[in-house]
Amino acid sequence: MISNENSERLFKNTIKYSRKLPEMFSTDDVSAIAENMTYGILGELRDRYNDNKPVVFSYNELAELGDLWIYRKDKNNEIKKELYNGNRLQNAIYELNDALINFSYYKVLELKDDGSPKSWVSTNIFNKIYFNGSEKKLTLTLNESEVVPEQKDVNGNVIQKALYVKDLLNSDDWSKVKHLQYNRKINNRLTSKYSKRLYRFLSEYRSFPVGTKMKIEIFDKKILKIYRPKSETYGKQKPFDNRKNRAAFLKKAIKEISELKTEDGGQIVKNLDVIYHRVGNKNHSIEFTFTPFKLDISSDLNKRRISKDNHHLIPAPEQIHTHSFPTPTLEHNDEENTKELSEIDIDAQNVIDYINYFWSITFNKSLQGYLNHISLRESVIQFPHDKEILKLIKKRLKNGVPVETLMAVTEMKAIDWLYLNTTMMEFFKPSVIFGKNFPEYQAFIQAFLNKNEKYLVNDLNKDKDFYIPINGPWDTK
């Protein structure tokens, strides 16, 4: 039997990793137990991973990370707990194996006539996964692959360093990395795997609920994992569709998450609800509303326990180290703040319109091989009248700003997550999108035009025709 008090302090209660990790990598629709251990491992790699050296977890550590405890009454009728063991633990290890070997990033290179993948690149997050049953240990080595290549401008200057798998889990300064964080034990103790997935998703937008809005098909595939069409199956994977149960899954998840409270009764996620946005007679997008929350990762947890109803959920740890994501603030003496809001409003609104335009671009390939532009009815940014946000954007426009810097504004995080248009991601996302001088952007656009001009539909109806703005909002004055 293992003492809970001594073992719990071995691990971080706050799991943290780059926001690019869930955007790029995903495991299959695995069990709740497998998810507990998998994400517990990811949280620990932040501290253990170094210079491509293997990381070793004992089976007991894996069970603790997943909160796999058995509760029993002793002779004195007191409740004692012990970790999974025997066949119960072995079955959990099998489930973990299935989760880890499928934790991958797929990039489709070529499609068959029926729309299913013909050629693709698969990158597993781990280069080595070794379960040693004799020693009851798991050895992991992160993949050393480059997942995003180095980017250079037209003059050969490096404008964005290459991104490797290890960069998604490790950082010398997390304040400079867009990341999400959430409480491991809350994630573990939510009984439904759909509750866990929704909790992690909400945690990404904990300070900005509007950012949760996304196309419902993407939500079903990437967040709840209840839908996999044939066009997105690889190897031995099989398509599945459990969308008819979405409402039931979400009802339970919202109930579970809403019941999370601190020991003194403070509700962690307040006013949680779901909104379906319809186009015609179909649900087109989904959005979650809630009051911004932070009690689950607050340093105040050093003194509090978290409970679900009247049952303890998390013993108070001795120490929790958290790194809050910085929100840029405006200096009171900033010259930009003295300008009329109308000028700020115009410039910032132009930028918002520009990003919304890029978000709206999508293609439909005709039988003749032409790419027709299809206009969407929604925008990625829906807060054009927030004065403080407009000031923050305006302040960063003068000489051009890297995308990463702009996204450091907490309220702007939605852009990156909702920027899921694969065509745009591949061709239209230069590292610098604002400023008067940016030959890199024009090079991106011109290269795309040269490569795809014969496929683009050109006619006199400019309202319906696809166009690419070589000149942007920076040239409006």
Average pLDDT of the residues in 418-435: 39
Backbone conformation region of residue 51, classed left if phi is above 0, alpha if psi is from -120 to 50, else beta: left
Range list of β-strands (E), 149-225: 151-152, 158-160, 163-164, 179-183, 214-215
Per residue in 181-194, pLDDT (tens digit) is 999 989 998 999 99
Residue 272 amino acid letter: L
The pLDDT assigned to 146 comes to 87
For residue 466, the cross-strand partners are none
Residues 339 and 467 in one domain: yes
Compute the distance between CA of residue 295 and CA of residue 313 in angstroms, rounded to an integer.
14
Compute the distance between CA of residue 237 and CA of residue 223 in angstroms, rounded to an integer.
18
Q: Which of 395, 475, 471, 399 is nearest to 435 (CA)?
A: 399
CATH number at residue 193: 1.10.10.10
Per residue in 359-417, pLDDT (tens digit) is 454 555 556 655 555 544 444 444 434 455 445 555 554 444 444 444 444 434 333 33
Residues 343 and 384 in one domain: yes
Per residue in 257-282, pLDDT (tens digit) is 999 987 778 899 999 999 998 888 88
Is the dihedral angle over the CA atoms 65, 68, 73, 75 positive or is it negative? negative
Both tokens of residue 167?
Answer: 């960069």
Residues 306 and 360 in one domain: no
Tokens 């949680």 sit on residue: 272
Residues 160 and 210 in one domain: no
Residues 11 and 148 in one domain: yes
The pLDDT assigned to 94 comes to 95
Q: How confident is the model at residue 172 (pLDDT cuts 50, 70, 90)?
A: confident
Q: Is 107 within the bounds of a domain?
A: yes
Give the end of a domain, one of 321, 345, 370: 321
The HSE-up count of residue 294 (CA atoms within 13 Å, CB side) is: 9
Residues 57 and 191 in one domain: no
Compute the distance between CA of residue 354 and CA of residue 350 in angstroms, rounded to an integer.
6
Residues 293 and 349 in one domain: no
How far is the CA of 202 from the CAs of 206, 212, 414, in angstroms?
A: 6, 7, 12
Pairing, β 104-111 against β 158-160: unpaired
Residue 456 predicted with pLDDT over 60: no
Residues 140 and 224 in one domain: no
Compute the distance between CA of residue 90 and CA of residue 138 in angstroms, rounded to an integer.
12
Residues 380 and 436 in one domain: yes
- pTM tops 0.75, yes or no: no
The pLDDT assigned to 367 comes to 61
The pLDDT assigned to 199 comes to 97
Q: Is 374 within the bounds of a domain?
A: yes
Split into its structural domains, the chain has a count of: 3
The pLDDT assigned to 192 comes to 94
Q: Is 326 within the bounds of a domain?
A: no
Question: Among the ranges 264-273, 294-303, 376-385, 455-464, which has the highest mean pLDDT value?
Answer: 264-273
Compute the distance between CA of residue 103 and CA of residue 101 in angstroms, rounded to an integer.
6
One-character DSSP codes across 376-396: -S--S---TT-HHHHHHHHHT
Render the burial of 363-390: b for 16+ CB within 10 Å, e for the rest.
beeeeeeebeeeebebbbbeeeeeeebb
Residues 145 and 229 in one domain: no
Domain containing 147: what range? 1-170
